[in-house]
Structure 1
C-alpha cells in the first residue's frame, strides 16, 4: 500500500507524493513492439487510455497494460499519463471538438457530476447490459458512488477511504488501551489530552475538505440537498448544518486546549509529524498505509481505527475516494467495445490483486481477497484490515453514497478556507460555514444554469 492519497486532488500541492502530481516525464505505457500481436487479417483495434497515475502507480498501470496487450491479438491499449486529475480533465474538455481525445479516461470521484452532464460519455451500464456482466462480483459500497438513477456511469478503478492512525506505543505509555482506539469525538479528545505530554501533541488533522465530507457521511448527514444531489441535481450546500458545525467546534476546541496541532491543509505535514512521533493520532487515506508503516519502521507500533464520529450521530459510514474509468462516446463503437474488454480484464481478481498489492487501493472485485498475493500482503500489513472492515461496515444511503455537484473541486477548497478560519480563530464554526454554504450554493446555481443551456 503506497504512500499516495487516493482521494480527489483539488489542492494539487497538498501532498508532494499525491497521485497524479508527478511530472509528465513518467512512462506513458506504450506497448513495446514485441507485445503487439495481430490477427490473421492484420486488424488491431487501438484503445487510448488517459490516466493520472504517476511514479510507482504509473509503473503498475504499465504492467497491467502490458499483461493485457500480450494476451490479446486484436486489441492494443496505450496508457498515457496526462498529469493531475484537473489537468487531464482540462485536456479532455479541449479535445471534445477535435475528437483527438482518448477512448477512456480516469476521472476523480468529485468529477462525476460534470462527466455525466458533459454528455460526452457512454454509460458503462450499456456494456454491462449488452454483455450481461455480473456486477455482484464487485464491491457494492464502491459501485454505489458511481451509480445514478440505477445506472453505472463509470467503473471504479482506484478507491480508498480515510482511516484514523494512532501510535500504539504512546497509547501504552499514557495508560490507554492500544487495542481500544477512540471511536467518538469525545473519546478522541480524552485520548489526546492523555497523550499530550513529554513533547508529544495528542492529535493533528489536516484541514482537508475531503475529511469534512467524510465526517458528514459518518454522521449520516448529506452534504448538499436533493438527496446529496442524487435524486435530482443539487441546488444548495448543506455545509452549515449541525454535522459541520459540531465537527469544526470539536476540532477547534482540541486546538485551543493544545491537545491537537494545526499543521494546515497538507496531509503530507500531518503524516510527517505522525511518523516522527510528534503527534499520536492523525487521519489519512487508506492508500497511505504502507508508506506510513514503512516510514515508521520499528520506532513504534502503528494502529488503525475507523473514522471517529459524535456519540449521538446517526448511522453512517465512509464515502469512497479515488477515481473511476469513463468511456468517451465520440470514439467508434468497435473502439469502445475493445476498451470494455480491457475494463473487464482490469476487474479480474488476479489483476485487482496485483493493483491492490502494488498500490494500496481497495480491490473492486470481492474474490481478489482470496488471491494469495492479497492474503500475504494482509499478513504483512494487518492494519489494512481496518480499512476493509470500515468499507464493509458502511451501509449504503444517500449520505454514504457521497455528494455530487458540478462544482465540487471549488466547493472543497471553499470548505478548506472555512476550516482555516475556524481553527485560526477568525470566525466561529457557524459563521464560517454559513459563508461557505452561501458561496458554494451560488457556484452551484451558476453551474446549473450553464448546464441547462
Structure 2
C-alpha cells in the first residue's frame, strides 16, 4: 500500500507541475475567484501544518482543517469556522488555505508521507477515490451511527464520491454542477428564448455576436478552460468518459468525442464561442459575463451568489442544454477525516456540526451558491425562502436530477492531464479532432492498464 501511495504521489506531483494551468481553472470554476483573506482562524500557510496532538485532560483540542476556497467563499468559510469555535469551548478549528484543489492534493500527499497531515481536509470529489484506495481516509460509518446520521440524510446525486471499498470516507461540502448562466437582458433585446438544446444554443449564440469590422466585441457564449464542460457535453450526447470496465474512454469509437469538439470548434470559428486562455480562465470569462461582453456562460453553480451581487442586468440560470439527453457532472469538494488524525473525536464533531447543525454549513451554502447537501437543508425555511427570492439557485438544485459522473477511476488525475492536452490541441491549436482524440484514447488506455 505504501508503494502504491508513493507512486500516486509521484504521478500527481508531476501532473501538478505540468498541468498548473488546468489546476487553476478547476479551482476557479468551482466558485473560487480571488485570493483568500486572513482571519484569526484561517492561515495561508504554504507548508503543511502539523497534525493536532492529543490534548491533555481539560485542554482544548486543536483540529487542523485544510481547504481550497478563495475570495468571498473563503470569507464564508472563515465565518463558518468562527461560528464553530465560538460555540465549542473545548475545540478550536484552524483553517488553512492550501491553494487550488490540485495544489492541496499534492501538499496533502506530502504531509501524509511525512506524518504531518491535517485532521480534516477538503478534497475535490474526483480525488477522493485516490486517497480512499490508499487507505488514508477514516471510515466515517461508525461515527455516523453513533451520531444518528445516515447516508440517506444526504442529497441524492452528491454521494457518488463518498463510498469506496465499503467505507464511507467523505461527505459533501462545497458541491456544485456546471450550469448555464444567462444575460437575459441581451436575449430579450433580440427576442431570443433561453436555449434548451445544442441546436438552440448554436442559433442563439450566433445571433448575439457583435462585430466591429472583423473584431468580435461581444460573444454569444463562453466557458472556462476545463475538463468539466466537455465531459458534460459527452454525457449529453449519451457518451461516457470511461467505458464500462474502465479500460478505455467511452467517447472515442462511437463518434461522441468528435461530435462534441466539432460543435465547439464550429461555434469558435464563427465568433459565437469565446474560448479563454488557460491561465485564470474562470476569472476571465466571469468578468466578461459581468461586463456584458458575452451573453451566456457555462460555469459553476458555486458562482451564482457572487454573480447575482456583481451584475446589473437580468441574470438567470438554466439547465445545461441537452443534445440527446440532459446530463451534467458534479463538481466541487467533499470533506474527509484523515486516518492519521490524533483528534478524531474532535474532528468528527467539526464535520458533523458542518453537515447537520443549522448554524454549520447552511449559512455558507446560502451565501456562496453551492448546493444544499442534506435533505433537511433542502427542506429548511432558510433554503425555501431563498429559492423563492432567488429562483436561480433552485434551478441549480433541480438540475441534480440529471447528475452523472463517468470519470471515476483512481487513475483520473493522470488521465485528466492527457485530456487537458487534447483539449489544448483542439481548442487552441486547431489540430485534427479525430486523430487528437485517438492519441488521447491510446494514452488513456496505457494509463488505465498500469
Task: Return the TM-score normalized by structure 1.
Answer: 0.81
Match status 1:71 vs 2:87: yes
Please tell me whether the aligned partners of residues 142 and 320 of structure 1 are also in contact (alpha carbons under 8 angstroms): yes
2:408: which partner in 1? Answer: 404
1:245 to 250, 258, 265: 258
Deviation at 1:239, TM superposition (A): 4.8
Matched, 1:196 2:218: no
What's the secondary structure of 1:141's corresponding residue?
Answer: coil
Residue 307 of structure 1 pairs with residue 317 of structure 2: no
SS of the residue 2:273 aligns to: coil
SS in 2 for 1:426: coil
Gaps of 5+ in 2: 1-18, 44-54, 212-216
SS at match of 1:122: coil
Deviation at 1:191, TM superposition (A): 1.5
Contact kept, 8 Å, 2:141 with 2:168, in 1: the verdict is: yes
RMSD of equivalent CA atoms = 3.0
Separation in 2, partners of 1:197, 1:30: 45
C-alpha displacement of 1:166:
1.9
The equivalent residue for 1:29 is: 41
Matched positions, count:
411
Secondary structure in structure 2 of the residue aligned to 1:49: strand
State the 1:40 CA deviation: 12
Q: Does 1:323 align with 2:333?
A: yes
Aligned to 2:169: 153
Could you say which residue in structure 2 is the equivalent of 1:363?
372
Structure 2 counterparts to residues 416-431 of structure 1, below 5 A = 416-424=420-428, 426-431=430-435
Shift of 1:317: 2.5
Paired residue secondary structure (1:362)? coil
Please, which runs of 5 or more residues in structure 1 have no aligned partner? 1-7, 32-38, 228-233, 447-453
How do residues 42-191 of structure 1 correspond to structure 2 at under 5 angstroms? Answer: 42-148=58-164, 151-177=167-193, 181-191=194-204
Q: Is the 8 A contact 1:162 1:283 kept in 2?
A: yes
**Deviations 1:150-201 (CA, angstroms, capped at 9, x unpaired):** 5422111110111112221222222223xxx211111111222322346533
| TM-score normalised by L of structure 2 | 0.81
The answer to which of 405-414 and 117-126 deviates more is 405-414
Q: 2:285 aligns with which of 265, 270, 284?
A: 270
Q: Report what 2:270 is aligned to.
A: 257
Alpha-carbon offset, residue 380 of structure 1: 4.5
Partner of 2:247: 235
Q: Is the CA contact (8 Å cut-off) linking 1:157 and 1:325 kept in structure 2?
A: yes
Which stretch shifts more, 107-116 or 423-432?
Answer: 423-432
TM superposition shift of 1:72 = 2.9
